[in-house]
Amino acid sequence: MNGLFSHVLQRFRSLSFILLAVSAPLAGQETADFFRQNCISCHTIGGGRLTGPDLKNVTQRKDKAWLIQFVMGPQSVIDKGDPYALKLQQDARGVVMPNIAGLDRTRAEALLALIEAESKLAKSQFAGLQISDRPFTAFDIEQGRRIFTGENRLANGGPACISCHTIRDLGGLSGGRLAPDLTKVYERLEGRKNLAAWLFAPATPTMQPVFKRQAMKPEEILPLVAYFESSARKGGQDDSVGVMTFFLLGLGGTAAALIVFDAAWRGRFRAVRRPLVETNGGRRKA
Protein backbone atom coordinates (compact mmCIF):
# COMPACT_ATOMS: atom_id res chain seq x y z
CA MET A 1 0.00 0.00 0.00
CA ASN A 2 2.82 2.36 0.93
CA GLY A 3 4.58 1.50 -2.33
CA LEU A 4 1.44 2.35 -4.32
CA PHE A 5 1.07 5.66 -2.48
CA SER A 6 4.72 6.54 -3.11
CA HIS A 7 4.31 5.72 -6.80
CA VAL A 8 1.22 7.95 -7.10
CA LEU A 9 2.97 10.78 -5.24
CA GLN A 10 5.99 10.51 -7.52
CA ARG A 11 3.76 10.64 -10.61
CA PHE A 12 1.95 13.68 -9.18
CA ARG A 13 5.25 15.50 -8.59
CA SER A 14 6.40 14.68 -12.11
CA LEU A 15 3.14 15.98 -13.57
CA SER A 16 3.37 19.17 -11.48
CA PHE A 17 6.93 19.75 -12.70
CA ILE A 18 5.82 19.31 -16.32
CA LEU A 19 2.93 21.74 -15.85
CA LEU A 20 5.22 24.33 -14.30
CA ALA A 21 7.75 23.90 -17.09
CA VAL A 22 5.04 24.42 -19.72
CA SER A 23 3.22 27.27 -17.96
CA ALA A 24 6.34 29.34 -17.22
CA PRO A 25 7.11 30.17 -20.89
CA LEU A 26 3.41 30.80 -21.55
CA ALA A 27 3.23 33.25 -18.63
CA GLY A 28 6.39 34.94 -19.86
CA GLN A 29 4.97 35.30 -23.36
CA GLU A 30 1.73 36.69 -21.95
CA THR A 31 3.69 39.34 -20.03
CA ALA A 32 5.73 40.20 -23.13
CA ASP A 33 2.51 40.59 -25.15
CA PHE A 34 1.06 42.79 -22.41
CA PHE A 35 4.16 45.02 -22.50
CA ARG A 36 4.04 45.17 -26.30
CA GLN A 37 0.36 46.16 -26.33
CA ASN A 38 0.39 48.69 -23.48
CA CYS A 39 3.91 50.02 -22.90
CA ILE A 40 5.99 50.07 -26.07
CA SER A 41 4.25 53.12 -27.56
CA CYS A 42 5.82 55.25 -24.79
CA HIS A 43 8.78 53.21 -23.50
CA THR A 44 11.70 51.19 -24.80
CA ILE A 45 14.08 48.84 -23.03
CA GLY A 46 17.50 49.99 -24.18
CA GLY A 47 16.28 52.01 -27.16
CA GLY A 48 16.29 55.47 -25.58
CA ARG A 49 13.57 57.81 -24.33
CA LEU A 50 10.23 58.15 -26.05
CA THR A 51 7.40 59.99 -24.31
CA GLY A 52 8.37 58.07 -21.20
CA PRO A 53 11.83 57.06 -19.99
CA ASP A 54 13.91 54.17 -21.27
CA LEU A 55 13.19 51.31 -18.84
CA LYS A 56 16.54 49.55 -19.14
CA ASN A 57 17.81 48.87 -15.59
CA VAL A 58 14.88 50.80 -14.11
CA THR A 59 14.98 48.54 -11.03
CA GLN A 60 18.44 49.92 -10.31
CA ARG A 61 17.08 53.48 -10.25
CA LYS A 62 14.15 52.87 -7.88
CA ASP A 63 13.21 49.98 -5.61
CA LYS A 64 10.57 47.49 -6.74
CA ALA A 65 8.00 48.48 -4.10
CA TRP A 66 8.01 52.08 -5.36
CA LEU A 67 7.89 51.00 -9.01
CA ILE A 68 4.92 48.70 -8.43
CA GLN A 69 3.06 51.45 -6.61
CA PHE A 70 3.77 53.93 -9.41
CA VAL A 71 2.86 51.58 -12.25
CA MET A 72 -0.45 50.72 -10.61
CA GLY A 73 -1.41 54.36 -9.94
CA PRO A 74 0.89 57.00 -11.45
CA GLN A 75 -1.35 59.98 -10.80
CA SER A 76 -1.86 59.12 -7.14
CA VAL A 77 1.93 59.02 -6.58
CA ILE A 78 2.32 62.36 -8.34
CA ASP A 79 -0.52 63.87 -6.29
CA LYS A 80 1.37 62.95 -3.11
CA GLY A 81 4.22 65.18 -4.26
CA ASP A 82 6.75 62.39 -4.68
CA PRO A 83 9.91 64.11 -6.03
CA TYR A 84 10.92 61.30 -8.39
CA ALA A 85 7.39 61.03 -9.82
CA LEU A 86 7.26 64.79 -10.35
CA LYS A 87 10.61 64.64 -12.14
CA LEU A 88 9.25 61.91 -14.45
CA GLN A 89 6.25 64.11 -15.25
CA GLN A 90 8.51 67.07 -15.95
CA ASP A 91 10.78 65.03 -18.24
CA ALA A 92 7.69 63.82 -20.11
CA ARG A 93 6.62 67.45 -20.68
CA GLY A 94 3.60 67.09 -18.41
CA VAL A 95 2.33 63.79 -19.81
CA VAL A 96 1.17 61.41 -17.08
CA MET A 97 1.17 57.66 -17.64
CA PRO A 98 -2.47 56.48 -17.72
CA ASN A 99 -3.87 53.69 -15.58
CA ILE A 100 -3.68 50.46 -17.60
CA ALA A 101 -6.68 48.15 -17.68
CA GLY A 102 -5.97 44.70 -16.27
CA LEU A 103 -2.82 45.77 -14.44
CA ASP A 104 -2.78 44.35 -10.91
CA ARG A 105 0.10 43.71 -8.49
CA THR A 106 0.85 40.26 -9.93
CA ARG A 107 1.04 41.68 -13.44
CA ALA A 108 3.18 44.61 -12.27
CA GLU A 109 5.65 42.22 -10.62
CA ALA A 110 5.78 40.14 -13.81
CA LEU A 111 6.45 43.28 -15.88
CA LEU A 112 9.34 44.27 -13.62
CA ALA A 113 10.79 40.75 -13.91
CA LEU A 114 10.49 41.01 -17.70
CA ILE A 115 12.22 44.41 -17.73
CA GLU A 116 15.05 43.07 -15.56
CA ALA A 117 15.55 40.08 -17.86
CA GLU A 118 15.43 42.20 -21.03
CA SER A 119 17.85 44.73 -19.50
CA LYS A 120 20.54 42.03 -19.28
CA LEU A 121 20.38 41.25 -23.01
CA ALA A 122 22.71 42.81 -25.55
CA LYS A 123 19.61 44.03 -27.38
CA SER A 124 16.10 43.76 -25.99
CA GLN A 125 13.17 42.79 -28.19
CA PHE A 126 11.64 46.05 -26.89
CA ALA A 127 14.47 48.34 -28.03
CA GLY A 128 11.97 49.91 -30.43
CA LEU A 129 12.14 50.91 -34.07
CA GLN A 130 15.31 52.55 -35.28
CA ILE A 131 14.10 55.43 -37.44
CA SER A 132 16.63 57.14 -39.70
CA ASP A 133 17.15 60.88 -39.28
CA ARG A 134 17.97 61.34 -42.97
CA PRO A 135 15.86 63.88 -44.90
CA PHE A 136 12.79 62.23 -46.37
CA THR A 137 12.44 62.23 -50.15
CA ALA A 138 9.43 63.12 -52.27
CA PHE A 139 9.07 59.40 -52.96
CA ASP A 140 8.89 58.64 -49.20
CA ILE A 141 6.18 61.26 -48.72
CA GLU A 142 4.14 60.06 -51.69
CA GLN A 143 4.32 56.46 -50.48
CA GLY A 144 3.10 57.64 -47.08
CA ARG A 145 0.18 59.46 -48.68
CA ARG A 146 -0.76 56.35 -50.62
CA ILE A 147 -0.66 54.23 -47.45
CA PHE A 148 -2.74 56.83 -45.58
CA THR A 149 -5.44 56.89 -48.26
CA GLY A 150 -5.46 53.13 -48.76
CA GLU A 151 -4.16 53.21 -52.32
CA ASN A 152 -1.34 51.01 -50.99
CA ARG A 153 -2.87 48.38 -48.71
CA LEU A 154 -1.23 47.45 -45.43
CA ALA A 155 0.56 44.11 -45.66
CA ASN A 156 -1.09 42.61 -42.56
CA GLY A 157 -4.59 43.69 -43.58
CA GLY A 158 -5.11 46.62 -41.22
CA PRO A 159 -7.52 49.41 -42.22
CA ALA A 160 -6.27 52.50 -44.01
CA CYS A 161 -5.77 55.62 -41.89
CA ILE A 162 -8.32 57.53 -43.97
CA SER A 163 -11.14 55.28 -42.79
CA CYS A 164 -11.01 57.00 -39.36
CA HIS A 165 -8.69 60.02 -39.74
CA THR A 166 -8.31 63.07 -41.92
CA ILE A 167 -5.41 65.37 -42.76
CA ARG A 168 -5.40 68.92 -44.08
CA ASP A 169 -4.21 68.48 -47.69
CA LEU A 170 -6.38 65.54 -48.77
CA GLY A 171 -9.05 67.62 -50.51
CA GLY A 172 -12.63 66.52 -51.10
CA LEU A 173 -14.31 65.20 -47.96
CA SER A 174 -10.83 64.80 -46.43
CA GLY A 175 -11.24 61.39 -44.82
CA GLY A 176 -12.92 59.97 -41.74
CA ARG A 177 -14.13 61.83 -38.66
CA LEU A 178 -14.22 59.01 -36.12
CA ALA A 179 -10.70 59.77 -34.85
CA PRO A 180 -8.55 62.93 -34.51
CA ASP A 181 -7.27 65.05 -37.39
CA LEU A 182 -3.64 64.03 -38.01
CA THR A 183 -2.45 67.25 -39.65
CA LYS A 184 -0.31 68.07 -36.60
CA VAL A 185 0.28 64.60 -35.17
CA TYR A 186 4.02 64.92 -35.89
CA GLU A 187 4.13 68.02 -33.69
CA ARG A 188 1.88 66.57 -30.98
CA LEU A 189 4.07 63.49 -30.57
CA GLU A 190 7.23 65.59 -30.93
CA GLY A 191 9.14 63.94 -33.70
CA ARG A 192 9.90 60.84 -35.68
CA LYS A 193 10.82 58.45 -32.89
CA ASN A 194 7.71 58.96 -30.76
CA LEU A 195 5.43 58.93 -33.80
CA ALA A 196 7.00 55.74 -35.16
CA ALA A 197 6.65 54.03 -31.77
CA TRP A 198 2.99 55.03 -31.61
CA LEU A 199 2.29 53.69 -35.10
CA PHE A 200 4.09 50.45 -34.26
CA ALA A 201 1.90 49.81 -31.19
CA PRO A 202 -1.02 52.27 -30.94
CA ALA A 203 -2.41 52.30 -27.41
CA THR A 204 -5.81 53.95 -27.85
CA PRO A 205 -8.90 51.84 -27.04
CA THR A 206 -10.04 52.05 -30.68
CA MET A 207 -6.76 51.30 -32.44
CA GLN A 208 -5.26 48.75 -30.06
CA PRO A 209 -7.67 45.85 -30.75
CA VAL A 210 -7.56 46.55 -34.50
CA PHE A 211 -3.77 46.54 -34.83
CA LYS A 212 -3.06 43.95 -32.15
CA ARG A 213 -3.07 41.20 -34.78
CA GLN A 214 -2.51 43.44 -37.81
CA ALA A 215 0.52 45.50 -36.82
CA MET A 216 2.10 47.76 -39.41
CA LYS A 217 5.50 46.80 -40.74
CA PRO A 218 8.54 49.09 -40.33
CA GLU A 219 8.65 49.63 -44.10
CA GLU A 220 5.06 50.99 -43.89
CA ILE A 221 5.67 53.12 -40.79
CA LEU A 222 8.61 55.04 -42.24
CA PRO A 223 6.67 56.49 -45.24
CA LEU A 224 3.75 57.42 -42.94
CA VAL A 225 6.15 59.29 -40.67
CA ALA A 226 7.50 61.06 -43.78
CA TYR A 227 3.98 62.05 -44.83
CA PHE A 228 3.05 63.36 -41.37
CA GLU A 229 6.35 65.23 -41.08
CA SER A 230 5.71 66.84 -44.48
CA SER A 231 2.23 67.89 -43.38
CA ALA A 232 3.61 69.45 -40.21
CA ARG A 233 6.30 71.36 -42.13
CA LYS A 234 3.67 72.90 -44.42
CA GLY A 235 2.15 74.63 -41.41
CA GLY A 236 -1.45 75.78 -41.23
CA GLN A 237 -4.30 74.59 -39.09
CA ASP A 238 -6.06 71.27 -38.78
CA ASP A 239 -8.64 70.75 -41.49
CA SER A 240 -11.97 72.37 -40.65
CA VAL A 241 -12.98 73.09 -44.24
CA GLY A 242 -13.65 69.40 -44.83
CA VAL A 243 -16.20 69.32 -42.02
CA MET A 244 -18.05 72.33 -43.45
CA THR A 245 -17.87 70.83 -46.94
CA PHE A 246 -19.32 67.57 -45.66
CA PHE A 247 -22.09 69.46 -43.84
CA LEU A 248 -22.99 71.58 -46.87
CA LEU A 249 -22.96 68.59 -49.20
CA GLY A 250 -25.22 66.71 -46.81
CA LEU A 251 -27.58 69.65 -46.50
CA GLY A 252 -27.63 70.17 -50.26
CA GLY A 253 -28.16 66.46 -50.91
CA THR A 254 -31.06 66.36 -48.46
CA ALA A 255 -32.72 69.37 -50.09
CA ALA A 256 -32.27 67.87 -53.56
CA ALA A 257 -33.73 64.54 -52.41
CA LEU A 258 -36.78 66.30 -50.94
CA ILE A 259 -37.38 68.15 -54.21
CA VAL A 260 -37.12 64.92 -56.22
CA PHE A 261 -39.47 63.05 -53.87
CA ASP A 262 -41.93 65.95 -53.92
CA ALA A 263 -41.98 66.00 -57.70
CA ALA A 264 -42.40 62.23 -57.90
CA TRP A 265 -45.15 62.14 -55.28
CA ARG A 266 -47.01 65.07 -56.85
CA GLY A 267 -47.07 63.35 -60.21
CA ARG A 268 -48.21 60.10 -58.63
CA PHE A 269 -51.03 61.87 -56.75
CA ARG A 270 -52.35 63.49 -59.91
CA ALA A 271 -52.11 60.26 -61.83
CA VAL A 272 -54.45 58.63 -59.31
CA ARG A 273 -56.78 61.53 -58.54
CA ARG A 274 -57.52 62.77 -62.06
CA PRO A 275 -58.86 59.43 -63.42
CA LEU A 276 -61.04 59.04 -60.32
CA VAL A 277 -62.53 62.51 -60.73
CA GLU A 278 -63.11 62.04 -64.42
CA THR A 279 -64.71 58.61 -63.86
CA ASN A 280 -67.03 59.84 -61.11
CA GLY A 281 -68.00 62.90 -63.16
CA GLY A 282 -68.86 60.72 -66.12
CA ARG A 283 -71.06 58.48 -64.00
CA ARG A 284 -73.00 61.47 -62.64
CA LYS A 285 -73.70 62.78 -66.14
CA ALA A 286 -74.94 59.39 -67.21
pLDDT digits (tens, 9 = 90+) for 123-150: 999 998 888 788 999 999 999 999 999 9
pLDDT digits (tens, 9 = 90+) for 33-46: 899 888 988 999 99
For residues 257 and 86, the model is more confident at: 86
Tell me whether residue 284 is in a domain: no
Residue ending a domain, among 234, 249, 266, is 234
Distance (Å, rounded) from C-alpha 97 to C-alpha 111? 15
The count of domains in the chain is 2
Q: Concatenate the DSSP letters of all residues of 51-113 into one string.
A: SSPP-TTGGGTS-HHHHHHHHH-HHHHHHTT-HHHHHHHHHTTT--PPPPTT--HHHHHHHHH
Q: 179: helix, coil or strand?
A: coil
The DSSP secondary-structure symbol of 52 reads: S
Considering the domain architecture, whether residues 165 and 229 belong to the same structural domain is answered as yes
Q: Is the confidence at residue 92, as pLDDT, over 50?
A: yes
Query: Quick one: pLDDT at residue 107?
Result: 95
Considering the domain architecture, whether residues 93 and 147 belong to the same structural domain is answered as no
Q: Which of 132-136, 167-171, 275-279 has the lowest mean pLDDT?
A: 275-279
Query: pLDDT averaged over the chain?
Result: 80
Confidence bin at 274 (pLDDT 50/70/90): low
Query: Quick one: pLDDT at residue 24?
Result: 42
Confidence bin at 113 (pLDDT 50/70/90): very high
Structural domain of residue 210, as residue ranges? Answer: 138-234
pTM as predicted: 0.63
Tell me whether residue 66 is in a domain: yes
Query: Quick one: pLDDT at residue 22?
Result: 38
Collect all residues with Cβ–Cβ distance below 8 Å to 208 and sequence separation of at least 6.
37, 202
Tell me whether residue 151 is in a domain: yes
Asked if 162 and 175 count as a contact pair (C-beta separation under 8 A), the reply is yes
Considering the domain architecture, whether residues 144 and 107 belong to the same structural domain is answered as no
pLDDT digits (tens, 9 = 90+) for 183-242: 999 998 888 988 998 898 887 778 878 887 888 998 999 999 999 999 988 875 555 545
Query: Quick one: pLDDT at residue 105?
Result: 94
Asked if 28 and 21 count as a contact pair (C-beta separation under 8 A), the reply is no
**What is the mean pLDDT of the segment spanning 109-122?**
96
Could you tell me the maximum CA-CA distance found in the chain, to the nearest angstrom? 118
Residue ending a domain, among 219, 234, 249, is 234
SS3 string of 13-30? Answer: HHHHHHHHHHHHHHHHHH
Query: Quick one: pLDDT at residue 18?
Result: 42
Distance (Å, rounded) from C-alpha 124 to C-alpha 118? 5
Beta bridge mates, 166: 175
Tell me whether residue 132 is in a domain: no
Tell me whether residue 255 is in a domain: no
Considering the domain architecture, whether residues 91 and 58 belong to the same structural domain is answered as yes
